[in-house]
Amino acid sequence: MDSKAINSLAGQRGFRSFYTDLVADPRAVRVCTGLSCHLAGARCADVAGSDPPARAVQCLGYCDRSPARLLPDGQIVLTAGSSAASIRNIAREAIVTARIGKGDFADLERARSVGVYQSLAHALGRTPAEVLAAVEDSGEQGRGGAGFPTGRKWRLAAESAGTARYVVANGDEGDPGSFIDRVLLEHDPHAILEGMVLCAFAIGATAGVVYIRSEYPTAQSRMQTAIQQARAAGLLGAGICGSSFAFDVQVVAGHGSYVCGEETALLNAIEGRRGEVRVRPPYPAAQGLFGQPTVVNNIETLVNIPWIIGRGAAAFRRLGTADSPGTKAFCFNQGFARPGIVEAEFGLPLRELIETHGGGGRDGRPLAGIALGGPMGSILLPGEWDVPLDYRQLARRGIQSGHGGLVALPADTDWQALMVHWLEFMVQESCGKCVPCRLGSAQALALARQADTDEAHRKLPALLDLIATTSLCGFGQSLPGPVERLRALALAAGTAR
């Protein structure tokens, strides 16, 4: 075999071995062992002996009805029944969930009948600079976790030199406990497309991608259909709404990788590479997809855009707080008395969200705490719930709210087992690009499994600190925080083994 052939084989194997789906049996049932399903008792071993063997995945986006399984034909099996997710709005204006549960708005005609694409028509009568200014003035911050100002990102992309510009909708939603993006992709795909077209108009992009994880097959097919409908109606493609503006969108499917939700790993995945994180800077807004200026926005972030353009930045700023305008969709898992999605204005106290709107623990059971914002988020005990949900206030207390998923931790939570679960997730999902995260996570897991030994006491805190301070991306930087918290709780409870 010549060296070119070997290189190409290595390249193919390197790509294939990175993505779980590409090495797994496609006939296998996917058993969710993500945090919510794990707490509901799901274990992959429960379906051991099945042919083909079942395989564990981290979240299927049905955490309000855990435990969940995904059959090879795309059907979801929920132990707790399959009734629709509960959606409640407690904001003065529903933005994100305005249409959810009120009809099939994946259908273009129905979506148009309630005003979807009206903001686009309105925007096409203005200049791109005016649309960009409206998004900047709204003060909207990205809902994907980092809270970066959307308008600032758009301006950077609009003003960066390139031969093309792109818009990418991040539908990877890997955090166990979050499912708003799945619900929006399945039930309001035209609002996402409208947000993308508005972004493209503002920054001068001609092509866009909706990246959707493989655990969301229904979302993929509904978005595909929505794109075809929008194209046929002249809302995508050349000459949008009879103007000279052209922009088209395609769906790219993920292959099973949590870190592909990180924006630079996502871009690598779209380009057909291993979903490894890129060194930043350059940021995607300056050099993103194929090296060109690219806006990567979360699904929920994009759904806010048509509302902002249609109703105006000032109306958006009247909701929420000065530091965090607008609303956020918070997801409650099955461990709460009232699982589902609650859209609330920023500024609402976390305690009120949990106790009043989440209803506290399921069946009146007391909560030992909550996990907020997924594996890179925060573990918060009841004494820490008196904080307004506002990006600045949360950051001041070192709280990471991530994408706004809440998982109930019941009073009998085994902290030691949870710490091991957290680190197993880290080992499984590390993209492997940097040594502290790739090797450190495996060492931390080995130590955590024997947490109450002298060696673990001596080494684990320092190792977690090393991973947090030297890792390349938010995954390695943030994940040790909750692990350290769980370790302290396990030691305090005397459950460390």
Ligand X SMILES: Cc1cc2nc3c(=O)[nH]c(=O)nc-3n(C[C@H](O)[C@H](O)[C@H](O)COP(=O)(O)O)c2cc1C
Instruction: Please state the closest distance from residue 276 (CB atom) to ligand SF4, in A.
Output: 6
Considering the rule CB under 6 A, would residue 487 count as an interface residue with ligand X? no
Query: What mask of x and - would describe binding to ligand X in positions 281 to 310, judged by CB under 6 A?
Result: ---------------xxx--x---------
139 Cβ contact list (under 8 Å, min separation 6) = 149, 151, 313, 316, 317, 325, 326
How many CA atoms lie less than 13 Å away from 447 in the CB half-sphere?
20
- 317's enclosing H/E stretch is helix 313-317
Neighbours of 74 (CB within 10 A): 11
**Site residues (CB under 6 A) for ligand SF4, limited to 266-285:** 277
Considering the rule CB under 6 A, would residue 425 count as an interface residue with ligand SF4? no
Compute the C-alpha angle 66/70/74, nearest 5°. 135
Instruction: Please state the closest distance from residue 442 (CB atom) to ligand X, in A.
Output: 18
- Measured from the CB atom, is 219 or 265 closer to ligand SF4? 265
User: What phi and psi, each to the nearest 5 degrees, are found at residue 479?
Assistant: -65, -35
Considering the rule CB under 6 A, would residue 258 count as an interface residue with ligand SF4? no
Binding range to ligand SF4, per CB under 6 A, among 51-59, 167-175, 403-411, 429-437: 429-437
Considering the rule CB under 6 A, would residue 376 count as an interface residue with ligand SF4? no
Which burial class, exposed, middle or buried, applies to 10 when counting CB atoms under 10 A from its CB (0-12, 13-18, 19+)?
Answer: exposed
Interface with ligand SF4 (CB under 6 A), residue from 124, 431, 464, 468: 431
Residue 427 binds: one of ligand FES, ligand X, ligand SF4, none (C-beta under 5 to 8 A by kind): none
Considering the rule CB under 6 A, would residue 257 count as an interface residue with ligand X? no
- Measured from the CB atom, is 173 or 345 closer to ligand X? 173
Residue 389 binds: one of ligand X, ligand SF4, ligand FES, none (C-beta under 5 to 8 A by kind): none
Residue 96: which of 345, 333, 268 has the closest Cα? 345
Take residue 241 and report the two structure tokens written for it.
């709404």
Q: Which residue is nearest to ligand SF4 (CB)?
A: 476
227 Cβ contact list (under 8 Å, min separation 6) = 189, 193, 210, 236, 249, 250, 251
The packing angle between helices 435-448 and 480-493, to 10°, is 10
- Measured from the CB atom, is 54 or 185 closer to ligand X? 185
Sites of contact with ligand FES (CB under 6 A) = 32, 34-37, 59-63, 66, 68, 176
Considering the rule CB under 6 A, would residue 486 count as an interface residue with ligand SF4? no
Interface with ligand X (CB under 6 A), residue from 24, 77, 121, 146: 146
Interface with ligand X (CB under 6 A), residue from 67, 174, 256, 325: 174
Instruction: Please state the closest distance from residue 433 (CB atom) to ligand SF4, in A.
Output: 4
- Measured from the CB atom, is 260 or 409 closer to ligand X? 260
**DSSP-assigned states of every residue in 22-38:** HHS-TTSPEEE-SHHHH
Instruction: Please state the closest distance from residue 148 (CB atom) to ligand X, in A.
Output: 5
User: What phi and psi, each to the nearest 5 degrees, are found at residue 493?
Assistant: -85, -5
Helix (H, G, I), strand (E, B) or coil at 47: helix
Interface with ligand SF4 (CB under 6 A), residue from 430, 444, 456, 480: 430
Instruction: Please state the closest distance from residue 434 (CB atom) to ligand X, in A.
Output: 12
- Measured from the CB atom, is 209 or 329 closer to ligand FES? 329
Parallel/antiparallel/unpaired status of strands 340-345 and 327-332: antiparallel
- Measured from the CB atom, is 54 or 207 closer to ligand X? 207
- Measured from the CB atom, is 470 or 495 closer to ligand X? 470
User: In 166-213, which ranges are E strands?
Assistant: 166-171, 207-212
CA-to-CA separations, 376 to 109, 331, 362, 371, in angstroms, rounded: 40, 16, 24, 10
User: What phi and psi, each to the nearest 5 degrees, are found at residue 140?
Assistant: -65, 135
Which residues would be at the binding site for ligand X (CB under 6 A)? 142-146, 148, 170, 172-174, 259, 261-263, 296-298, 301, 473-475
Which residues would be at the binding site for ligand SF4 (CB under 6 A)? 259, 277, 430-434, 437-438, 471-473, 475-476
